[in-house]
Amino acid sequence: MRPHRPAQRGFGVKRWAVWHCCTAVLLLLAACSDNGDDNPLSAPQQAAVEWREGQTIVALGTSLTFGFGSGCKVIPFDFACALPDSAYPAQLAARLKLPLVNLGVPGATTRDGLLRLPEALGHDPALALVELGANDMFQGVATAEARANLTAIIEGFHREGVAVALLSFAHPDMIDTTPADHWLQNRIEDGLAYHQLQLDLAADYGLPIVEFIFEGIWWRADLMFDSVHPNGRGYLLLEDNIARGLGDFLAASDLLR
């Protein structure tokens, strides 16, 4: 027969266990809170990219990835133009150990990006920078449809072992800096919805994201080529925003020169 134990001792053991459990939880929460980042361009980081020599990084995007409005990338096209390429992929490539392939297409929607996924995978990428959604917003594509397309793009890359980072065009900060007569003033709700879409996908899949690639550029007339595209100087700043926003992630992946 087991010896009788006073009820008070049993209660004391339970209280000791609960106290230590609560303490462990509080310590864990405190540790997590210490990992905050004051950089407005940064976001939660996914695991570092595993890569090997011979692989690439692909930039799948719109005219903002293509670099429309910078250097020679204007309409009408000047075949004699010899200005350097200031599109962000060309500039960012100089910082990286892997070649960066520019797959930006003016006017591309998330649907177009999904259709080009096989082309992107054909470059054997270790990382994909996805800048899509702006043209969906401009064309009135429902956010649910854009979400489905972006989800398919992300999952398509992940199935092949390719890491993904998101680059967001829309941001609440655009509201106060957009000129009163700019046509985007009538699309504020759409812009906020698309911004939230990017944040949700980043959270759902644990992706690094640059929340506002136009930080410090939109809408400064001296840095804009037209109503939505930066000029050459603007693109240099846009690339710097991306480099800073993904800096910790790229460094952790040993992708920086």
Range with lowest mean pLDDT among 6-10, 91-95, 122-126, 142-146: 6-10
The tokens describing 111, both together, are 């649907």
Q: Residue 17: pLDDT above 90?
A: no
Q: Rounded mean pLDDT of 50-60?
A: 98
Q: Which CA distances in Å does 76 have to 82, 126, 244?
A: 15, 35, 33
Is the pTM higher than 0.75? The answer reads yes
The answer to whether residues 201 and 151 touch, using CB atoms and an 8 Å cutoff, is yes
Provide the percentage of residues in the chain whose pLDDT is more than 90.
70
pLDDT score for 29: 38
Better-predicted residue by pLDDT, 172 or 28: 172
- Tell me how far the alpha carbon of residue 142 is from its chain's centroid: 20
* Helix ranges (DSSP H) in 86-132: 88-93, 110-115, 117-121
Per-residue model confidence (pLDDT) at position 164: 98
